[in-house]
Amino acid sequence: MPRRRPPWVIRIARERIDILFQLADKEFLKHPERSHRYVELARRISKKYNLRIPRKWKRRFCKSCYRFLKPGYNCRIRLSKGKIHYHCLECGRIMRFPYIREKKIRRRNKIEYHTLKKRADEKIPISNNSTDRESRNQ
């Protein structure tokens, strides 16, 4: 039976994946090849330690050519019928992701905001302690 990796190793691997994607995002305009290399390294780390790449970064690289995608520079994003279409301008692949979950979260937050606001607007009756004492004494 294979030995499990300690949690600190997995935590460090997750941090490195996040750092590499942040560097890829920051370096893309000056050195696009370097940012593509950072994506490659992050993918290797995730495969080696059997970790998922976070959803916010998973949508930032092409699943076909594994290039870092920067909207407006080497990818085009369109919305249609409950899906987000990412069109890679490097290889031409179109990736589709549903955005129903984001809609549900936004709707839930909106409802919670309005219920909290409504509760805050309601006037809470404040009892006057001095009148309560007088009525008890009589």
Q: Which residues are annotated as a binding site for Zn(2+)?
A: 62, 65, 88, 91
DSSP 24-86: HHHHTTT-HHHHHHHHHHHHHHHHHTT-PPPHHHHTTB-TTT--B--BTTTEEEEEETTEEEE
Cβ neighbours for 132, distance < 8 A, ≥ 6 positions apart? none
Q: In whole angstroms, what is the distance from residue 83 CA to residue 121 CA?
A: 38
Binding residues: 62, 65, 88, 91
Cβ neighbours for 77, distance < 8 A, ≥ 6 positions apart? 71, 84, 85, 86, 87
Cβ neighbours for 10, distance < 8 A, ≥ 6 positions apart? 49, 51
